[in-house]
Structure 1
Amino acid sequence: MKLFSNPPPFPCLSFSQAGSSLSFTVNSALPSAPYHGLICHLKRLTFRFLLTSPGYTQTRTPQKLADLFCYFLPRTMAQVNTCLKRVFTIFNILFAIVGGVIIGLALLSQVITNINGGQNVEGRMSGLIVLYVVGIVTMMIAILGAYGAHKESKVCLIIFLVCMVIGSLLMLRTGVPVAITRPQLEGMLEERFRNYLPLDKAEYEVRDMADTLQTQLHCCGMFSYKDWENNIPDSCLCSPAEMEEDKCQTIDYNSYMMQEKSIYTKTCFPIIMHYVLLLVDIVIGIAFALAVLALLGMILSSIMIYQMRYPDRPTILMSVPTIFTTAPPKYQELHNPPPY
């Protein structure tokens, strides 16, 4: 018996009958997500029609097989490679860890600067805000990517891809100029610090910052103790223990009164420059590391989105046997009636 005179022309599903077998042919080259509900609904209507047709009796076998068909359909037509999903999930975990490390560095920098009295350092607050924002945004993007991979959500993965593109451009926009200007940084800072000389005649904020640096770094003057002219502060003076370690030098403080002072030998600018270059190297490293991670995230998310849009899988042929038996007639002619 032919089940369908005109089978419905669905692009993802076709029917065929061979003997007592009803075959569903699923074209998995098409996106399966929009059609999965349609296939299951059509299956139920088909079996309901068959089981309620005149001349046939219902059996449980077709319905059970139909339920198996609908249960295994999304797994048979899985769109994203399992190994790729695991790699992408691990990548997002590492990405979230990087964001947590950035937030931790921001907290550590804030605590250290508060302890050392650096609350008034120029650009401190803006730098901490940038670190906090970068860390939080990195963790949020990582969570979004992991969720999109786990749920195979194309929308989440597209948003993740856009964030990766923007993030990589921002990191390159930050890292490349800093790397280019790094060789000229020492000359630029030297010129700026020399504008503050002489230190004893500079503004109060500059003198206070210089005193704090000299106390913490055990140095005197930016380029020489003569930066203070004849008003050398107590922050330049050495302790007796430091004098024994050859960290100090004796100078004539007042030539008229023949006064001498023991001050630090080192100047502050080379020490400041060392830490500035170290900080710049860290910024360059973080910027390029995040750019590389963003590029890797772009590649992985693009592959997953491509697999969702164009799954490369063979056509799936599933057969469900239609087991129906002819119902006995309501009336049957008696050829040999019994005698009365």
Structure 2
Amino acid sequence: MAKINPCFRRIFVFFNVLFAIFGAVVLGLGLLVHLQLDEHESKLSAVVVLVVFGAVTFILAVLGAYGAQKENKNVLIAFFVFMCVGTIALLRMAIVMAISRPEVTSVMKQELNKAVPLDAASEDVKNAMDYIQKQVKCCGLFNGYQDWGNQVPESCDCGSDEADQCQKMTPRNTYLKIFEVRSRMVYSQPCGFMMLQYISLVFDVTLGVLFGFATLALLGGVMSLAMIICITAIPRPKCISSPPIFSVSPHPPKYSELIQSA
């Protein structure tokens, strides 16, 4: 039975050990977060995905390393099948996400526009917008402070040291313009565009991770297939015949030997 190249086997085992460590870390992190969020069931879906991903990565990595180290054909075949299934699943998810990305962005923009005017929105929306405006230093969704109507919150106010990010707020009502004591400066950057950019960044990172893991799964499948072929290959017998031997004697044969040979 043919043997796997030692250098090739060591490289395969090394990378599988790295992935096993990575899977164990992700699994431990997911379990730790699960214990911390034990009372918040609405947040457990992402934690479950994290735990399942870590566990599957760890098991497959250990399976591949064991099969390569022991040169076990059955284990390598199982690893190859899982890698093929994983590659197809990851590519399918990535392609669907890439195709639906413009539609998701458009739907998100429509949903954000439904919250305008913000002064008439629910308290949860107002609190969320207040937090975003303080952290990101923006105001409104897509039309700046005008999205708040006549009740622009203090979270839109910008300081004198942020003049390049500010604009003068002009009240809509005439009586407010007349009795306005001082000019109010608010952030000029709308929050909606920043939120859409953040969503696009999340899409880009997710697509990169999916395509990256799909490439690694495909590479692992190709390497395991090469080892399977190497293990199952039957060496060909060496059919090398010995060369003919001619004896050369300086003395001619005797007459009696010639008669006997004839």
Q: Name the TM tier (shorter chain).
A: 0.7 to 0.9
TM-score, normalising length: structure 1: 0.58
Residues 312, 82 of structure 1: CA spacing in aligned structure 2 closer, same or farther, 3 A cutoff?
A: farther
Distance 2:108 2:43 in 1: 17
Residue 203 of structure 2 is aligned to residue 303 of structure 1 = no
For 2:227 and 2:52, the matched residues in 1 are separated by 28
Partner amino acid for 1:280? F
Name the SS of the counterpart of 1:219 in structure 2: coil
- TM-align CA RMSD: 2.9
Name 1:81's counterpart in structure 2. Answer: 5
CA–CA distance in structure 2, aligned partners of residues 158 and 148 of structure 1: 9
Cα distance in 2, alignment partners of residues 293 and 99 from structure 1: 14
Q: Note the C-alpha offset of 1:94.
A: 4.8
Q: Which residue of 2 aligns with 1:166?
A: 85
Partner of 1:312: 234
Aligned-pair CA distance for 1:181: 2.2
Kindly tell me the number of residue pairs found equivalent between the two proteins: 223
Q: Does 1:293 align with 2:216?
A: yes
Match of 1:134 in 2: 53
Report 1:269-284 matches (<5 A): 269-284=192-207
Shift of 1:280: 0.6
Of 183, 186, 192, the match for 2:105: 186
Which whole-Å CA distance do the structure 1 matches of 2:24 and 2:190 have between them?
A: 37
1:159-201 per-residue CA deviation (whole Å, 9 max, x = no partner) reads: 3222212211221121001111223443222112111222122
How big is each residue's C-alpha offset from its partner over 1:55-101, in whole Å with a ceiling of 9 and x where there is no partner? Answer: xxxxxxxxxxxxxxxxxxxxxx4533323312322332454466478
Could you tell me how far 1:132 is from its partner in structure 2?
4.3
Determine which structure has greater relative contact order: mean sequence separation of CA pairs < 8 Å that are 6+ residues apart, divided by chain length. 1
- Give 1:1-340 correspondences, 5 Å limit: 77-96=1-20, 99=23, 103=26, 126-224=45-143, 225-242=145-162, 245-253=163-171, 255-257=174-176, 258-259=179-180, 260-308=183-231, 310-315=232-237
1:133 and 1:239 mapped to 2: Cα distance? 47
SS in 2 for 1:179: helix
Look up the match of 1:57.
Answer: none
- 1:115-165 Cα offsets, whole Å, 9 max, x none, are xxxxx9xx9654454344324422331122111111222332233222212
Over 3 Å counting, the alpha-carbon distance change for 1:283 and 1:239 in structure 2 is same
Q: Deviations over 1:205-238 (max 9, x none)?
A: 2222111111111000011211111111111111
Q: Greater share of helix residues, 1 or 2?
A: 2
Deviates more, 1:130-139 or 1:261-270: 130-139
Shift of the 128–234 alpha-carbon distance from structure 1 to 2, 3 Å rule, reads farther
Structure 2, unpaired ranges of 5+:
239-262
Q: For the residues of structure 1 that align with 2:76 and 2:206, how far apart are their CA atoms?
A: 28
Give the strand-richer structure, 1 or 2: 1
Q: Deviations over 1:301-336 (max 9, x none)?
A: 12222333x2232459xxxxxxxxxxxxxxxxxxxx
Displacement of 1:289 after TM fit?
0.8
